[in-house]
Amino acid sequence: MSAPIQIDVLGVTIEVVPTGKEADELGTLLSRAWDRCLVSEVSTGPADLVVHAVVGRRTPKKLRGEVVAVAPSVEALMEVVTQTVTVEAITRRAGDLVMLHACALAHPETGAVKVFVGPSGMGKTTIARTLGGRWAYLTDETAAFAEDGELIAYPKPLSVITEERHKEQVSPSDLGLLASVQPGDVDGLYLLDRRDDVAQVTLEPVPLVEAVALLAEHTSYLGALERPLHRVAEVITAGGGLHRVTYADAGDLASLLNGDGKR
């Protein structure tokens, strides 16, 4: 068994325990890929949750009843670990945080945050990779807001498709993305609408009631929140309203990041 790693996922401390013959290799890869989420030392205290990461075909008998990520190869397991810890953390923060399916970037000096909301396949990871060299990478998965409006960063590894068409979990550091700064106020909240046939970026303000309905579709565990629509509306209002952004290429969105990020 390799040394476990502790990571902070949306404020949940998760200990990932590599297990099995390839535990050492897995431990090394996990430490690298999750470098932005690592809790300084395992000795900092007990984790909120332990996830066992096992290379194999099935969950070992001794781990039944535990939270286990299992996959037949180290590469596949890296992705399963990402999915498992994300789902577990989101489940544990249900009823507490407004968790939008989104990419978020912060101005490296002011901390002003841009949030790009959209379903899988709408370009969130690509936006993070493309623009994260200029603005600090906060997440490409979940932008989570506490009741006081604070955004909780989740700078997880990015899922990158390799030349061999495998999905690889890559550290944001290895992709050259700027390290997270303390996120400030949300300065732009965008609903992604990626289309191949548009020549330029267009922004369209979305009226509040529609904005709430649209973001509700992209909010994890909405129904677990108290006054769920009000919580979503507060995020929208604090961000200066929701804009639908139609674009073709992530690089075109750089125009939204001009200036110091302050309204």
Partner 1 sequence: MTKGLWRLGDLVDRVDGEDGRAVVMVGQDVLVVSPVAAAILDLLIAGEQSTASLAESLEAAFGAPVDATSEALTTQVVQSLLEAGLVVAC
The residues of the shown chain that bind partner 1, judged by CB under 8 A, are: 207-210, 212-213, 216-217, 222-223, 227-230, 233
**Least distance from partner 1 to the Cβ atom of residue 225, Å:** 9
Nearer to partner 1, 230 or 263 (CB): 230
Nearer to partner 1, 122 or 206 (CB): 206
**Least distance from partner 1 to the Cβ atom of residue 91, Å:** 16
Nearer to partner 1, 25 or 217 (CB): 217
Bridge pairing between strands 113-117 and 5-9? unpaired
Nearer to partner 1, 207 or 259 (CB): 207
Spatial separation of the C-alpha atoms in residues 12 and 102, rounded to whole Å: 19
**Least distance from partner 1 to the Cβ atom of residue 116, Å:** 21
Cα–chain center distance at 195: 23
Nearer to partner 1, 133 or 205 (CB): 205
Write b or e for each residue in 18-44: b if 16 or more Cβ atoms lie within 10 A of its Cβ, otherwise e. Answer: bbbebbeebbebbbebbbbbebeeeee
**Least distance from partner 1 to the Cβ atom of residue 30, Å:** 35
Tokens of 55: 């290379």
3-state secondary structure of 9: strand
Owner of token pair 């550290």: 171
Bridge pairing between strands 67-71 and 113-117? unpaired
3-state secondary structure of 123: coil
Handedness of CA 123, 128, 129, 132 (dihedral sign): positive
Nearer to partner 1, 47 or 215 (CB): 215
**Least distance from partner 1 to the Cβ atom of residue 166, Å:** 36
Nearer to partner 1, 65 or 223 (CB): 223
Residue 235 exposed, middle or buried by CB count within 10 Å (0-12, 13-18, 19+): buried
**Least distance from partner 1 to the Cβ atom of residue 185, Å:** 21
**Smallest Cα–Cα separation from 219: which of 206, 205, 203, 236?**
236
Using an 8 Å Cβ cutoff, are 206 and 196 in contact?
Answer: no
**Least distance from partner 1 to the Cβ atom of residue 182, Å:** 30
